[in-house]
């Protein structure tokens, strides 16, 4: 049986995709629960790797309808595996400067082990399944498409 | 009555990110034989869109916003999206 509040906690109707900076504190507030002693927060930030050259920002786009639906399925599956967990996540779209947060996943559970595990699960699933793409914007304005290094797919 | 309506179906093909840039548009309508699979439709598509030969033989595909396989059967009016390698996170 599913946790009765799984789709009803405050903010559950908030979109998974946003165009403005992600408000981490708000996500943490949404999973807070007096019976939960562990909250794990993962933030993915736009980075410039050692071999990436002068990356100024990353432009994120999505197949938005499908992305929202995949996020929703990932949450449902997370709640099946960790009944009672509370999960909040958001992915930012548009041009995100280096150093800013592109995705945040926050999970609370009664004890820390499940919070870490469930948070990791959500992050790995979203990288495998959610149709989002990124294009690096170099200083000077040139752009290049970029796949996830760990997606197992050819980037060319 | 056009007899071809019994034997062909029409699907909407969507392109995203690098694939949209490659073919120069974000969607096309494609007629495929009734009962065609995703694999058949992708092969046809590669032959008709600009730079179609540069699309992969077996791209990641979604049908009606759900991940699909090469042997997924298509129905009239389906939306088949070609998804470049995912890069969320």
What's the ipTM?
0.91
Flag whether pLDDT at A82 surpasses 70: yes
Using the beta-carbon criterion (under 8 Å), do A128 and B84 form an inter-chain contact?
Answer: no
Instruction: Give the pLDDT score at A135.
Output: 95
Assign A1 a pLDDT band (cuts: 50, 70, 90). very low
The domains of chain A, with CATH numbers, are: 17-146 (3.90.1170.40)
DSSP B35: T
Give the number of other CB atoms < 10 A from CB of residue A105. 26
- Residue A18, classified by CB atoms within 10 Å of its CB into exposed (0-12), middle (13-18) or buried (19+), is middle
* Alpha-carbon span A20 to A1, nearest angstrom: 36
On whether any CB of chain A is under 8 Å from the CB of B80, the answer is: no
* Alpha-carbon span A107 to A7, nearest angstrom: 15
Q: Work out how many CB contacts closer than 8 A connect A with B.
A: 79
* Alpha-carbon span A47 to A50, nearest angstrom: 10
Flag whether pLDDT at A9 surpasses 90: no
Flag whether pLDDT at A6 surpasses 50: no
Percent of chain A scored above 70 by pLDDT?
Answer: 86
Distance from the B40 Cα atom to the nearest Cα atom in chain A, whole angstroms: 21
What does the domain layout of chain B look like in residue ranges? Answer: 4-83
Architecture of domain B4-83: Roll (3.10)
Instruction: Give the pLDDT score at A51.
Output: 78
Instruction: Give the pLDDT score at A152.
Output: 44
Instruction: Give the pLDDT score at A14.
Output: 62
On whether any CB of chain A is under 8 Å from the CB of B17, the answer is: yes
Q: Which of A44, A123, A131 minimises the CB distance to B86?
A: A131
Flag whether pLDDT at A149 surpasses 70: no
Assign A2 a pLDDT band (cuts: 50, 70, 90). very low
Q: Name which of A48, A36, A60, A50 is nearest A119 in CA terms.
A: A36
Q: What is the pLDDT along chain B (89 residues), one digit of tens a residue?
A: 455 557 999 999 999 999 999 999 999 999 999 999 999 999 999 999 999 999 999 999 999 999 999 999 999 999 999 999 999 99
Instruction: Give the pLDDT score at B5.
Output: 55
């Amino acid at each position: 049986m599913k946790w009765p509040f799984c789709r009803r906690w405050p903010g559950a109707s908030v979109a998974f995709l946003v165009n403005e900076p992600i408000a981490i504190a708000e996500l943490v507030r949404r999973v807070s629960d007096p019976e939960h002693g562990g909250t794990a927060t993962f933030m993915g930030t736009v980075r410039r790797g050692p071999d990436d050259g002068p990356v100024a920002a990353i432009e994120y786009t999505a197949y938005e309808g499908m992305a929202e639906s995949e996020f929703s399925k990932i949450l449902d599956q997370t709640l099946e595996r960790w009944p009672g967990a509370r999960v909040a996540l958001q992915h930012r779209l548009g041009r995100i400067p280096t150093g800013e947060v592109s995705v945040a996943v926050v999970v609370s559970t009664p004890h820390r082990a499940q919070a870490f595990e469930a948070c990791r699960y959500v992050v790995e699933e979203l990288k495998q399944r959610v149709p989002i793409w990124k294009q690096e914007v170099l200083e000077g304005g040139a752009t290049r498409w970029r796949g996830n290094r760990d997606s197992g797919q050819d980037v060319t | 009555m056009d007899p071809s309506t019994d034997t062909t179906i029409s699907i909407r093909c969507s392109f995203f990110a690098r694939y949209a840039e490659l073919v120069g548009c974000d969607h096309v309508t494609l007629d495929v034989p009734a009962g065609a699979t995703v694999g058949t439709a992708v092969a046809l598509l590669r032959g008709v869109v600009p730079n179609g030969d540069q699309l992969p033989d077996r791209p990641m595909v979604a049908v009606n916003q759900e991940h699909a396989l090469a042997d997924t059967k298509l129905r009239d009016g389906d939306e088949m999206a070609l998804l470049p390698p995912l890069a969320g996170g």
